[in-house]
Amino acid sequence: MKIDLLGEPLDRFPMVRGSNPTDFESALKSVFGDASVEVSDRDGFRARLNFVRLSDIEMAYSWATVPSRLRLPPDDFVGLQLALSGSAITMVGNRRVVTNARQSCICPPGQGRDYQFDAEFEQLFLGVRLSALERTLAGLLGGKPNAPLAFEPVADNDYPHSENLRQLTLFFGGTLNATKVSLPSQYLAELEQATAVAFLHACKHNFSSYLGVAEKDAASRHVKLVEEYIAANWNESLTIEKLVELTGMSARTVFKAFQRTRGYSPMAFAKRVRMERVRQLLLEAGGDASVGAIAVQCGFPHLGHFAKDYRKTFGENPSDTLARGRRFRGVR
């Protein structure tokens, strides 16, 4: 498995740049607490580390020129190491797990982490807070699991769901890296939710088999209920917890019902509703309004993607809609 990148991941969030292992260790301690770093060649050591933490998600990119050993204290995140080049060994309890192009390591919460990186090893790390995964799993299953969530330490990179998670992680990281302004909270919440869902499907755990069990289709009235809620609350993030709360059923059942009766997902419907809201605001906009400001207001922070989707939906550019609305109302 090869991961193609455009530039260095997360380079807008630098934590370490340099050749001093002591500085590297100090930077780690400032975030993670009792961390330690050992390197095989202090004179030849060069390293880069980027790191960002959101509400329930953390991501990191790391690279070093020489073999290195990194120890981190326990935390409440379930981690996934994705090798971009080279290989590494991670101690998970008493088990040695290799991270390379063929497989990734899943790091459990509540345990210290012992990483042993080969020279020139380059990785992208994804962490999801355990409590977020537990909430998401309860939503997918339709109830609180009857045992603690426990992951297997190895993830096969050829597993189809693993590829989905890798692509989503790269997209999420690229989204954070691409914008210099704060992303809308509802947009970030939905990306974090989607990442938690993808993580649960890609990384094997003690409830994985239950996620593949077919459930009874939701009645069409539940689909309509969700659509009515989305239409009335288009500017709020749509989460699995909210779907479960609205319908009293598992999110998987709701998603299947949407696909069967509508041919799309609740998230796709929410996107359409927000797109319709953009169109309405463009047609009603005053003279000082801009396409970008209206798009961001409605939950579309990336104007390139938004403009493409808008053209696909309505057959014209958003700027054309704005201009037509102004002409109709005599606004300059």
Whole-number Å distance between alpha carbons of 23 and 174? 27
- pLDDT at position 313: 87
Choose one of 165, 197, 212: the last residue of a domain. Answer: 165
b/e map 236-260, b = 16+ CB within 10 Å: ebbbbebbbebbebbbbbbbbbbee
- In a domain, residue 31? The reply is yes
- In a domain, residue 120? The reply is yes
Q: Structural domain of residue 30, as residue ranges?
A: 14-165
Nearest to 299, CA basis, from 191, 193, 185:
185
Provide φ and ψ at 68, rounded to 5°.
-140, 155
- What is residue 219's DSSP assignment? P
- In a domain, residue 103? The reply is yes
Lay out the sheet containing 95-99: strands in order across. Answer: 36-39, 68-72, 113-117, 88-92, 95-99
144 SS3 class: coil
Q: Any idea what the CATH number is for the domain that residue 300 is in?
A: 1.10.10.60
Choose one of 114, 142, 165: the last residue of a domain. Answer: 165
- In a domain, residue 238? The reply is no
- In a domain, residue 251? The reply is no
Choose one of 165, 184, 215: the last residue of a domain. Answer: 165
Q: How many residues does the chain have?
A: 332
> What's the mean per-residue pLDDT of the chain?
88
Q: Using CB atoms within 10 A of its CB, is residue 110 exposed (0-12), middle (13-18) or buried (19+)?
A: exposed
Q: Any idea what the CATH number is for the domain that residue 87 is in?
A: 2.60.120.10
Same domain, residue pair 286 and 148: no
Q: Give the total number of structural domains in the chain.
A: 2
pLDDT tens, position by position, 159-174 = 878 888 999 999 999 8
- pLDDT at position 181: 67
Q: Using CB atoms within 10 A of its CB, is residue 280 exposed (0-12), middle (13-18) or buried (19+)?
A: middle
- In a domain, residue 60? The reply is yes
pLDDT tens, position by position, 40-71 = 999 999 999 999 999 999 999 999 999 999 99
- pLDDT at position 332: 63
pTM here is 0.71
- In a domain, residue 245? The reply is no
Whole-number Å distance between alpha carbons of 328 and 283? 9
- pLDDT at position 55: 93
Same domain, residue pair 22 and 159: yes
Same domain, residue pair 161 and 274: no
How do the pLDDT tens digits run along the chain, 332 residues long? 444 445 789 999 999 999 999 999 999 999 899 999 999 999 999 999 999 999 999 999 999 999 999 999 999 999 999 999 999 999 988 888 999 988 999 999 999 999 999 999 999 999 999 999 999 999 888 888 889 999 999 998 888 788 889 999 999 998 888 877 678 888 899 999 999 999 999 999 999 988 864 344 445 778 888 999 999 998 888 888 888 888 888 888 888 888 888 888 999 999 999 998 998 899 888 778 899 999 999 989 888 899 999 998 888 899 998 988 888 766 66
Whole-number Å distance between alpha carbons of 177 and 293? 20
- State the amino acid at position 225 in one-letter form: L
- In a domain, residue 312? The reply is yes
pLDDT tens, position by position, 85-124 = 999 999 988 888 999 988 999 999 999 999 999 999 999 9
- pLDDT at position 331: 64
Same domain, residue pair 275 and 148: no
Provide φ and ψ at 167, rounded to 5°.
-65, -40
**How far is CA 62 from its chain centroid?**
18
Kindly give the residue spans of alpha helices, DSSP state H, lying in the chain: 21-32, 130-141, 160-178, 185-202, 208-211, 220-232, 240-247, 251-261, 266-284, 291-297, 303-314, 318-329
- pLDDT at position 59: 97
